[in-house]
């Protein structure tokens, strides 16, 4: 299973403070947005806190693969 964190850029303007609650957490891709033919928008599931829900789809360029 591939695991992801958000890139540091999302914790700075113009993204901040919208992503601040996701800092320090690890996620997996649950599914891709079907309507997006480019497959660049994904729905995430938090691995480190099952109660943490991501508010909507995220663009892949905002994520970093954890090795």
Could you give the CA distance from residue 37 to residue 13 in angstroms, rounded to a whole number? 28
pLDDT number for residue 67:
78
Res 61: pLDDT: 96
pLDDT at residue 20, as a whole number = 96
pLDDT (0 to 100) of residue 19: 96
Q: What is the pTM of this model?
A: 0.91
Cis peptide before 45 (omega within 30 of 0): no
In sequence order, what are the residues at sequence separation of 6 or more whose Cβ sits closer than 8 angstroms to the Cβ of residue 32?
39, 41, 42, 43
The predicted structure's pLDDT at residue 55: 93
pLDDT under 70 in the chain at which residues? none
- DSSP label at residue 30: E
Q: Tokens in use for 35?
A: 């309507």
Task: Tally Cβ neighbours within 10 Å of residue 56.
Answer: 9
């Amino acid at each position: 299973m591939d695991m992801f964190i958000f890139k540091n850029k999302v914790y700075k303007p113009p993204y901040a403070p919208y992503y601040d609650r996701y800092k320090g957490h690890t996620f997996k891709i649950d599914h891709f947005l079907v309507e997006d033919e480019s497959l660049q928008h994904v729905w995430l599931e938090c691995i480190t806190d099952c109660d943490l829900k991501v508010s909507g789809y995220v663009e892949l360029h905002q994520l970093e693969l954890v090795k």
